[in-house]
Structure 1
Amino acid sequence: MSRLPGLALAVALIAGSPAIPTGPAAAGEQGPRHVEKGSVQAVAAMQPGWNLGNTFDATGDDETSWGNPRVTPELLGDIRAQGFKSIRIPVTWGRHQGPAPDYTIDPAYLARVKEVVDQALDADLYVMVDIHHDSWQWVNGTGDDVLPRFSAIWTQVAAAFRDTSPRLVLESINEPQFTGGDPAARLAELNTAFHRIVRGSGGGNATRLLVLPTLHTSADQVHLDALGSSFAALNDPNLIATVHYYGYWPFSVNVAGGYRFDATAQQDLLDMFARIHATFVARGIPVIIGEYGLLGFDRHTGTIEQGEKLKFFELFGAQARARGVTTMLWDNGQHFRRTDGSWNDLELFHQIRSSWKTRSGTAATDLVFVRRSAPITAQTITLNPNGTGFTQIRLGATTLRRGPDFQISGDQLTLTAALLRRLTQTQGYGVTASLSLRFSRGVPWRLDVVAFDRPALTAATGSTSSFAVPATFNGDRLATMTAAYPDGSNAGPHGWTPYKEFDRAFAPDYEAGAIRLTPDFFAEVAEGTPVTLTFIFWSGETVTYELLRTGTSVTGTPLA
C-alpha cells in the first residue's frame, strides 16, 4: 500500500476518471482471448482474499518490526474460518539481500517466508506472494543494478517454490513506480523478466498463475491498456491482471469536502469496475484487486464516518460480484486482531462478508439528530434498498409499529415525532437509541438516534506543536473543517481546497472535549494573518473560530 502525492492525485481524481473506451481498442486487441478455464476458475476460487499486511513487507529486522505478532498456523486458520479463501503475503526482500553480483537472499528469511506459505496452504488458502516495498525503496531507481537485483530475487524465490502447490500464485511487484525513464517501458521490462524467470525455472512454475500489475496498480485506462499490451506480447493463458483500489481520494482520506460517499465517490467506484471488466474480465483475463480499503484507515478507521464507510464496502462487494473480480482486503492490523482472532469493527466486517454473497439495504445516513432545545418533529430518511425490500424496524427485541412509530412511502422512511420524543426523553446528549432497519436480504442497517444541541467553542492559547480548541460537543459529531484567510484564500495544507484533511490537519477528541489542530496544519499557516476555521458537524450545524499564529504561539477565539 502507498499514498500518491496529494495535489497531483487530487487534481487527477477531481478531473474525473477516463471514459470507458468502446471501440475495437476497447475490445482489447490487448491479449489472448482464450484464457484456460482453469485459470479463471482458480482466480474465482480465490474470492474473497485478505492481506497479511505490515508483516513480511515490514522494512525492519523481521516480521514483527511494524508491530504485528509472529505469524502462526492458528492465525492462518482463523483467517480461513472468517470465510477468506486466499491470502496475499506481501514481502519486502531488499533488506534481506546480500550484495552484488549474487544478491543472495538470507536463507533463514526465505525459509521463514516459505514456512508461512506452506502453513497457509495447509489452512486451505490460496496464497499470493510478491515483491513489495522494494518497489519504492530501490526498484524505482535508474541504476544499472535494478534489473539484476530484481531478477535475482525472482530466480531464488522461483527455485524455492518450484514444486509448491499450484494454489500458490506469484505477483511480479507491488505498486510499481519509477523516478526516471519511460515508466511504462520499465514496468514492461520487469514484468517480462519476472515471467521469463519463473517460467524458465520449470516444475510447477511452468504453468503457475502469475500476477502482473499496472503502473502504480492504477485502474486508469491508460495503465490498463499498457498492461494489456504486455499480456498480448507474453501470450500466456495463465496470467492475471492486478490493480488496487482505495476509493475516490477525497472520500478515502476525508479531504476536500469528501466526507460523504456521495454520487461522485460512487461513480468513481463504478467506473473503476467497468474499466477493468471491459479491458480484461470480459475478454477472459482474470483480475484480482490485490488491495482495497480506504486510505484514511492508515491512521485509524474513524477517519471516515461509520455509515459512509459501510456504504462504500457494500457497493464495492456488489460490484466485485457483478463484474467477476476477486478482491483482497488490505489489513495491516487495523481490522483483524491477530492475537485473539476478533475484529476491531465487527459491524464493518459483517457488511464486508455479507457483500460477498448478496446486497444489503442502506440509507442516506446512519445518524438521526434530535435537538434537545427545540420542539421535536418527525424526520424523514431516504432508504437505499439496493434491490432488497424493506421489512421492519427493530429496537432491541421490540418491533416498531408502522403508523405510530414510522411510515414508509417508497424509499422514504419517516420516524414520527412521538417515536423520537420517546427515544430521547432521557436526560443527556449522545446516542439515546439504536434502531435496526431490516431488509429482505443482507445485514441490517443501524440508525442511531442522537440527542444534541449546537456545539460551543471557547478561547484558547497554545503553540504550533500543541493546540486544541476547547469544545463542548453537546452530542454532535464533527464531519469536516475549512480554513480560510480574510481575503477568502485557503489556509493550511492542501491549499487547493478550503476543506482540510480529517485527522491529518485536525481531529476531534470527544473524551477530552477538544478539537486538536496538528503541527502539520500550522506548518502551512501564515504568521500574523487571522485564519477563520469553520467546523461542520454531522447534524448540519456549523461553528466558526478564529486563529492567529505569532511565531510558534497560537491564540484562538470563537466567532459569533
Structure 2
Amino acid sequence: MEIPQANLGRGINLGNALEAPQEGEWGIVIQEYFFDKIKDVGFKAVRIPIRWSAHTETHFPYTINESFFQRVDDVINQALAGNLNVIINIHHFDELTEDPLQHEDKLYQIWRQITERYSGFPDQLIFELLNEPHEALTSDLWNQFIINLLEIIREANPERSVIIGPVQWNSISGLDSLALPQDQNLIVTFHFYSPFQFTHQGAEWVEGSDSWLGTTWEGTESEMSAITNDLDKAVRWAARNEIPLFMGEFGAYYKADYESRIRWTRFLAREAEKRDISWAYWEFGAGFGIYDIENDEWDMGLLNALIPHVLVFDKDASPQSQSR
C-alpha cells in the first residue's frame, strides 16, 4: 500500500536542550558543530523541540522573550546552513494539556509570533504544531485547535509544510480521532516507543520503570509482528487520508540492554523506510542518545542501526568504526 512521502529523510531530535525549562538545565546546550556532525554521517533532518511557553510574558499577547527568539534564530540558521530539513515545534506546554481552554489563546499567540518571524525562511524549515497532545486536550478540542492554528500559520506561510500529530501522546492509536482540514502541505506524525516496558525501563520520570530493568528485545517473530502491525495500521490510515507520515520520535533508554537497543532500533528504522515513513530518532546526546558529547564520538552500534554502513573518521583521518 503506497502513501505520499514526506521526503524528510532520516532525522534526529536535538532533545533535552531548548525544551528544558532553560537551555542547559538538562545537560545539553546546542552547539553549531552538532549540525556538522549530524550532516556528515548522513542525517537529512533535525527536529528541535522548544519550550516556548517558558519564555513568554504571562499576559496577552504573550510576547516571546526577544533574546530567546534570537537564540532559536541562531539554532535554526545553523541547521539550515548544513542543508538540513529543520523541524521546530511547541514542546512541553504542560499548562495547555492540563487546561486547554484556559491556555488556548496563549497557544495561538505563540504560533502567531513564530509564523510571522519565520515567514521568509526557506521551505526546509517545517512547523510542528504541538508535541504529544494528551490528558485534557481531547481529540474534539485538538481538532478544532488544528483548524484555528492552520488559519494563523497560513496567513504568513501559505505553503510551508506543517506537521500535526494525534492525541494520546502522538500514538498510532490516536490517528483515527484526528480530523484534518483540506491542506496540501500537511504531514502527520506519530511517536513509537513500543514495547514501552523495553524502551523506558529504568526511566527516572516513569513511575515503576525500575521493575522493568532487564527487559530485552530479541527480534522474535511475535516481537517483530507487534511492530509491523502497528506500522501497517498507520500506513492504512495514511493511505485512506492521502497524507505522508513522519515517525517523529522513537528510541530506547540507555538502561536497556545494549544489543537489544540496536536490534530494536535497526528493525524499526528499516520497517518504517520500507513503508515510505520518514523518521527522527530520539535523540542526539542525552539518555536515549547516540552521540557522546563529552568524548566527541558517535555510538557506532546505534548509529549504524539507524544509518547502515556509516564510516566515521577520527581526528587523524583514520577509520574510527564501520558498520557491523
Given the two structures, how large is their TM-score scaled by the length of structure 1?
0.50
Return the alpha-carbon distance in structure 1 between the equivalents of residues 21 and 225 of structure 2.
36
Instruction: Decide whether the 8 Å contact of 1:75 with 1:338 is kept in 2.
Output: no
Q: Pick one of 203, 226, 235 that aligns with 1:268.
A: 226
Rg larger in 1 or in 2? 1
Asked whether 1:58 is paired with 2:20, we answer yes
2:274 aligns with 322
User: How many pairs align?
Assistant: 298
Query: What is the rounded CA distance, in whole Å, between the counterparts of 2:278 and 2:128 in structure 1?
Result: 15
Identity of aligned residues (%): 23
**Secondary structure of 1:132's partner?**
coil
Task: Output the CA distance in 2 between the equivalents of 1:350 and 1:156.
Answer: 39
Following TM superposition, by how much is the alpha carbon of 1:121 offset from its aligned partner in structure 2, in angstroms? 0.6
Letter matched to residue 101 of structure 1: F
Q: 2:188 touches 2:243 (CA, 8 Å); kept in 1?
A: yes
Equivalent residue, structure 2, for 1:225 = 176
Query: Greater relative contact order: 1 or 2 (C-alpha under 8 angstroms, separation 6 or more)?
Result: 2
Question: What's the counterpart of residue 306 of structure 1?
Answer: 258
Whether the aligned pair in 2 keeps the contact of 1:139 and 1:178 (CA below 8 Å) is no
Which residue number in structure 1 is paired with residue 86 of structure 2?
127
1:347-387 deviation per Cα after TM superposition (whole angstroms, max 9, x unaligned): 2212221189xxxxxxxxxxxxxxxxxxxxxxxxxxxxxxx
Q: State the Cα deviation string for residues 204-249 of structure 1 (Å, max 9, x = none).
A: x1000001111110011xx21122xx22xx1111100000011212
Residue in structure 2 matched with residue 249 of structure 1 by the alignment: 196
RMSD over aligned CA atoms reads 2.4
Task: Give, as a single letter, the amino acid of the residue that structure 1 aligns with 2:175.
Answer: L
1:252 & 1:342 partners in 2: Cα distance?
Answer: 23
Residue 114 of structure 1 and its aligned partner are, at CA, apart by: 1.4
The aligned amino acid for 1:177 is H
- Change beyond 3 A, Cα 1:346–1:194: same
Q: How far apart are the structure 2 equivalents of 1:142 and 1:310?
A: 39
SS across alignment from 1:169? strand
Please tell me the residue identity of whatever aligns with 1:224. Answer: L
Determine if contact 1:251/1:265 at 8 Å carries over to the other structure.
Answer: no
Mark the runs of 5 or more structure 1 residues left unpaired by the alignment. Answer: 1-26, 28-32, 357-441, 445-560
The answer to whether structure 1 residue 347 and structure 2 residue 306 are counterparts is no
Which has the larger strand fraction? 1
| Secondary structure in 2 matching 1:291 | strand
1:174-225 superposed Cα distances (whole Å, 9 cap, x missing partner): 0111337xx111211222222111002x2xx1000001111110011xx211
Aligned with 1:247: secondary structure? coil
The residue that corresponds to 1:240 in the other structure is 187
Equivalent position of 1:420 in the other structure? none
Q: How does 1:13-412 map to 2 (within 5 A)?
A: 40=4, 43-44=6-7, 46-60=8-22, 63-69=23-29, 71-134=30-93, 137-142=94-99, 144-179=101-136, 183-200=138-155, 202=156, 205-215=157-167, 216-220=169-173, 223-227=174-178, 230-231=179-180, 234-254=181-201, 255=212, 258-261=215-218, 262-281=220-239, 284-294=242-252, 297=253, 301=254, 303-331=255-283, 332-333=285-286, 334-338=289-293, 341-343=296-298, 345-354=299-308
Aligned to 1:438: none
Structure 2 Cα separation of the partners of residues 269 and 155 of structure 1: 38
Counterpart of 1:57, as a letter, is: E
Opposite residue 319 of structure 1, the aligned amino acid is: E
1: CA distance, partners of 2:246 / 2:144: 21
Distance between the aligned counterparts of 1:151 and 1:275, measured in 2? 32
Instruction: Tell me by how many angstroms 1:95 deviates.
Output: 1.3
Amino acid in the other structure paired with 1:167: Q
1:329-350 CA-to-partner distances (Å, cap 9, x unmatched) read 111523213355412x322212
Deviation at 1:282, TM superposition (A): 6.7
- Any unmatched runs of 5+ in structure 2? 202-211, 311-321
